[in-house]
Amino acid sequence: MVSADEHAQTLAEELEVLESIYIDELEKISDDYLRISVVPEEQGEVAEDSSLLKAPPTLVLHVKYTQDYPDEVPQIAITVRSDEAGVFGGEPDVVSDDAPEDIPESNPHAGIQELLAGVHDTANESLGMPMVFTLASHLRETLTEYISRKDREAQAEASRRRDAELEAEAEKFRGTAVTVERFNAWRKEFEREREEKRAREEAAYIASLSAKEREEYRRFKSKPSGRQLFSKEVPVEEEEKGDDSVKDVDWSQFSREEREKHAREDLDQVEESVSALDLDDSDDD
């Protein structure tokens, strides 16, 4: 059990140390109630273009000493003073500047509750010694780590969205691979649709004709087209067979003397034929 004098001396000594460290951040609301503004460390692992560097959040560590401090954990709360980047919801907490009997409730944001749990663990580990500086330092470190983690998650999500957008854009131009089966199926469907369209147009055209015109159109359609006539097979008459008596002679089977003999005989036959023709002409005269 700590005596009142020992308790007062402990608070005075700790306050003197805190005032020398947190010159602008410390607020003494009453003899047993302190507020310390906490901002993240500048060396945090945050992307250079992150909005967290331009407007990092500011938290307030509320500490209300108990009668048995430092052998007992003080009352602790964490509220948000500024949060332009929206790390903890974006809205600052409204805390009275009056000296309240009790410290305010901590901000209900899940991130704040995570940080508060860590501060409470550190306080329990520091029992028996002044701990406010240790609690404020721990809060600053964990706040920096929390912001770095959230920034990495935001960067990863932004990268995922960009990749998804690029993939969706690429998918528009990728199309479907053409295979023989797909082409044949497409062609079959295309021909069917074209034939249906032609039939509808022809039916509409016939409906617009008079009875006589429709009859002429049907007669015209029944005639074969030039292409049909051209593609129609026409039987070709066999050529007249030549005289069986005329046969080719393979002269290579004869000697030179035999070939010359046959040649003289053929020449004699020609001369006789010419002489006979001349005699016939003379008789006619």
Residue ranges per domain, the chain?
4-157, 180-222
Distance of CA 103 to the CA centre of its chain: 51
In sequence order, the β-bridge partners of residue 60 are: 37, 79
Per-residue pLDDT of 25-65, as tens digits, reads 999 998 899 999 999 987 545 555 555 656 789 999 999 99
For residue 179, the model assigns a pLDDT of: 87
For residue 275, the model assigns a pLDDT of: 61
- Which residues have a Cβ under 8 Å from the Cβ of 36 and sit 6 or more positions away? 18, 22, 25, 26, 27, 60, 61, 63, 132, 136
Tell me how far apart the alpha carbons of residues 217 and 211 are, in angstroms, rounded to a whole number.
10
What single letter denotes the amino acid at residue 134? T
Tell me how far apart the alpha carbons of residues 201 and 199 are, in angstroms, rounded to a whole number.
5
- The structure tokens 């308790």 sit at 7
Does residue 82 sit in helix, strand or coil?
strand
Helix (H) or strand (E) holding 238: none
Per-residue pLDDT of 165-198, as tens digits, reads 888 888 777 767 778 888 899 899 999 999 999 8
Tell me 245's DSSP state: T
pTM, 2 dp = 0.58
For residue 2, the model assigns a pLDDT of: 66
Nearest 5°: CA angle at 50, between 47 and 51?
Answer: 155
Asked if residue 157 lies in contact with residue 177, where contact means CB atoms within 8 angstroms, the answer is no
CATH of 4-157, one of 3.40.190.170, 3.40.50.150, 3.40.50.300, 3.10.110.10: 3.10.110.10
Tell me how far apart the alpha carbons of residues 30 and 64 are, in angstroms, rounded to a whole number.
9
Per-residue pLDDT of 95-138, as tens digits, reads 877 666 788 999 999 999 999 999 999 999 999 999 999 999 99
